[in-house]
Amino acid sequence: MSDKPTWLSEAPLQQLLAATKAAGGEARAVGGAVRDWLMGMESADVDVASTLPPEQTMEIAAANNWKAIPTGIDHGTVTLVLPTRVVEVTTLRRDMTTDGRRATVAFTDDWKEDAARRDFTINAMSMDADGEVFDFFNGRKDIEAQRIRFIGDAAARIAEDALRILRFFRFLATHGKPPADVDALAAIAAHKEMLQQLSGERIANEMRKLLAADAPAYSLRLMSEQGVAPLIFGRSIEPSRMIRLQLLEGQADYQTSVWARAAVILSATMADAEWLSNRWKLSRSEAKQLTQLVQMPAFNQSAPRHFHTRIIRLHGAPVYLDWLLTQAASGQGVDVAPYVQLAHAFVPPIFPLTAKDLMARGMAEGKALGDALSALETKWEERDYLITKEELLGQ
């Protein structure tokens, strides 16, 4: 690991930090960017905290011809569009009141006070323009131990924002390792009903990240054991299936989608898909992906080759692999290797016939035409796509 992260050397970011200092304040990179650099991970976003009020940050932006968007100015946040990246700049804050969903804040110039309102020790560090890291709560030690630990009393931090329950499990999956902090688990079990206050959008945002982690099975098991899973998924889940799915993903060298993973731990039905779509406020595209997986046929090891190639041709290799691995994780003794090879090797051909071809032979538009075209397509598939257009028309 280098002495400084590469993003800290970006001229516009250094210019922002210097301009804040020239205006009588101090600005530092905070949170995830600092955490991920210390863990040797790439960070897509860089957030900045400042002792200046948001109006002064916007003045700095104007003086440098940067676009400034008052995305959360009442809470001290301004989004700056720098030449190299988009940066959120937030004035140091302290919480005045909280209700489990939102907080009333006041501005401060105390860096430790601002850090204390963050959720976990690993997220509470900051870095100045020279690369010096400020760590008030031993976040670096927790990073070394891959330990996810609340700042201060876990129950109090959860009471401030119920989303921190899901963030605990998410960071445990993405940045931590077993065993989980026992005080955190006890606080989560005691306050889990608060999750019902959360909006579907906030739940889905955390769960997408958790389910996309390399190995989420441990976090999912703890969610189940602490009684959190039914409040998030609508009913109990089967984390052991996630373990099997992770093993199969390793064999296939392919990570399934978030929705495939959700489907496998639920043994999802259409009712489950509809519940998740509604509760998590999924986009139309996401709901379609989940519903599609639930509606696909069961895996049959004795099915002919064209059964598999049809799925690849109609839905694409990624959907086929999602289906294959989730089906294998839900069953027993399936050797997925030949099917994975098929998914990578098969190039879907284009069906050579159209409705116009049959109409040119005298068929009228209507259901009979559609049925005939479908029957010919099935024959074409069964013959491994080797029948020519002329042969099909002669059937």
Q: For position 361, what pLDDT does the model report?
A: 86
DSSP 246-275: HHHHHHHT-PPPHHHHHHHHHT--HHHHHH
Beta strand segments in the chain, E? 27-30, 47-50, 67-72, 77-81, 86-91, 93-98, 103-107, 126-127, 133-134
Q: For position 106, what pLDDT does the model report?
A: 87
Tokens of 180: 């989980």
Last residue of a domain, one of 94, 125, 145: 145
Q: For position 101, what pLDDT does the model report?
A: 55
Q: Is residue 341 part of a domain?
A: no
Q: For position 103, what pLDDT does the model report?
A: 62
What is the tens place of the pLDDT at every residue in 27-51? 999 999 999 999 998 888 999 999 9
Last residue of a domain, one of 145, 177, 193: 145
Indicate the number of domains in the chain: 2
Mean predicted confidence (pLDDT) in 176-205: 97
The single-letter code of the amino acid at 7 is: W
Q: Is residue 256 part of a domain?
A: no
What is the tens place of the pLDDT at every residue in 304-313? 999 999 999 9
Q: Is residue 35 part of a domain?
A: yes
Q: Is residue 8 part of a domain?
A: yes
What is the tens place of the pLDDT at every residue in 223-266? 999 999 999 999 999 999 999 999 999 999 999 999 999 999 99
Q: For position 140, what pLDDT does the model report?
A: 97
Q: Looking at the predicted structure, is the pLDDT value of residue 159 above 90?
A: yes
Q: Is residue 217 part of a domain?
A: no
**Is the model more confident about 144 or about 1?**
144
Asked if omega into 179 is within 30° of 0 (cis), the reply is yes
Distance CA 182, CA 54 (A): 39
Q: Is residue 171 part of a domain?
A: no
Its pTM stands at 0.90
Instruction: Find the domain containing 85 and state its range.
Output: 1-145
Q: What CATH number corresponds to the domain at position 127?
A: 3.30.460.10
Q: Is residue 19 part of a domain?
A: yes
Last residue of a domain, one of 145, 167, 192: 145
The β-bridge relationship of strands 133-134 and 77-81 is: unpaired
Q: Is residue 233 part of a domain?
A: no
**Is the model more confident about 190 or about 389?**
190
What is the tens place of the pLDDT at every residue in 79-94? 999 999 999 999 999 8
